Amino acid sequence: MRAFIPKPLPPDPPVDLLALYPLLDKANQALGRLDGSTAVLPNPDIFLYFYIRKEAVISSQIEGTQSTLSELLLFEKGLETGVSSIDDLKETSNYVAAMEYGLRRLRKGFPISLRLIREIHGVLLRAGRGTDKTPGEFRRSQNWIGGSRPGNALFVPPPPDAMMECLDAFEKYLYDNRLPLLVKLGLIHAQFETIHPFLDGNGRLGRLLLTLLLCDCQVLRQPMLYLSLYLKANRNQYYDLLQKVRTEGTWEAWLKFFLEGVAQTADQACDTAARLLHIFRKDGEKIRKLGRTAGLATQVHIYLQANPICPIREIAKEISRTIPAVTSALKRLDELGIVTEITGKKRSRIFVYKRCLSLVGAGTEPIKN
């Protein structure tokens, strides 16, 4: 197969916006609801903590990792994780670090640019698999998707000598505001995946870039929208539509899929936030009925809201109480059906806030081949 060199954005002939307006309105309204819901959360940082990690797990799974949300949370605490390989967990943890790095740079006023994209890529591939794929550097050799060589590949991105010209045009389009924002983001994502500028990590970085752009344009106050769960659930259609954009120029079909994904994902995030608040409130009501032990149990419960999988010693240290006292409080929470112990050991025990982790972890099961 010959290499494909995409034309600069916007598409020519122009995108038929009239066909997209119903979905565009639906997606914009869903984003507005999501942004409003984060404003009323008592602690939006908790929700953000979970969502960034959920996105890291799912986006990495699309690329072949098998680690779960529970394993990532354990790994970040330096605890044994069980099934997944250390490389899978490093790769997933890198995604969290890359997202946080990009957000810090944006808050300091650094523009989204090829330079920032390279910097984020350097963080994304800093450990685990991919460290030999020139992290932080655009590729200087030909890559391809599917097959064992360019000749039998499903898709061959532009060669290095043409790629930089494509990237220069791509960077300029980041600041072209003639089309509605969400339409523009759909075009940007497809174009980035088509240029495929790195030896590894293109898919993860392309999905991460969407969230950064939404925050940079101040559509969202918090980085709460992540499309990976939608793309994971519809990955065959996702790949097929991207390929048809290249071979047939069917931009409208791709954009309809993309806008539907934004709307569904934003609505799901709103629903999850509301259900998480409901769980916290209902469990808090149960705890307040414990009587004289309610005070410490409430402290433990509040800590577990932000750390739903946690060893006893960490809880005791962070809330400045003794291990026996915290153990007793966890026993009461276990009796109420709020937490469960997962090691089966008498020492170094780890407790899980069951309903919380189950809710935020929905959809993070590894992809079955």
Residues 6+ apart with CB under 8 A from 256: 19, 20, 23
* Coil/strand/helix, residue 176: coil
Residue 316's pLDDT is what? 95
Asked if the structure places residue 367 within a domain, the reply is no
Asked if the structure places residue 97 within a domain, the reply is yes
Q: Are residues 46 and 126 in the same domain?
A: yes
Tally of structural domains, the chain: 2
User: What CATH number is attached to the domain comprising 353?
Assistant: 1.10.10.10
Domain span including residue 128: 19-271
Task: Report yes or no: 283 and 263 within 8 Å, Cβ to Cβ.
Answer: no
Residues 6+ apart with CB under 8 A from 117: 205, 209
* Coil/strand/helix, residue 184: helix
What is the rounded distance in angstroms from the CA atom of residue 350 to the CA atom of residue 347? 9
Q: Are residues 128 and 267 in the same domain?
A: yes
Alpha helices per DSSP H over the chain: 21-40, 44-62, 69-76, 86-107, 114-124, 160-173, 181-195, 202-216, 228-233, 235-248, 251-288, 294-306, 312-319, 323-335, 354-360
What is the rounded distance in angstroms from the CA atom of residue 33 to the CA atom of residue 329? 37
User: What CATH number is attached to the domain comprising 256?
Assistant: 1.10.3290.10
Query: Tell me, what amino acid is at 367?
Result: I
Summarize pLDDT for 72-104 with one digit per residue, the tens.
Answer: 888 888 887 666 678 788 888 999 999 999 999
Among 73-77, 119-123, 208-212, the least confident range: 73-77
Residue 147's pLDDT is what? 84
Residue 82's pLDDT is what? 66
Residue 1's pLDDT is what? 67
Asked if the structure places residue 47 within a domain, the reply is yes
Q: Are residues 108 and 156 in the same domain?
A: yes
Summarize pLDDT for 278-306 with one digit per residue, the tens.
Answer: 999 999 999 999 988 899 999 999 999 98
Residue 157's pLDDT is what? 96
Q: Are residues 259 and 125 in the same domain?
A: yes
Report yes or no on whether pTM surpasses 0.85: yes
Task: Report yes or no: 121 and 201 within 8 Å, Cβ to Cβ.
Answer: yes
Mean pLDDT, rounded, for 251-280: 94
Residue 40's pLDDT is what? 73
Residue 81's pLDDT is what? 66
Mean pLDDT, rounded, for 341-354: 86
pLDDT at residue 227 greater than cutoff 80: yes
Asked if the structure places residue 282 within a domain, the reply is no
Asked if the structure places residue 12 within a domain, the reply is no
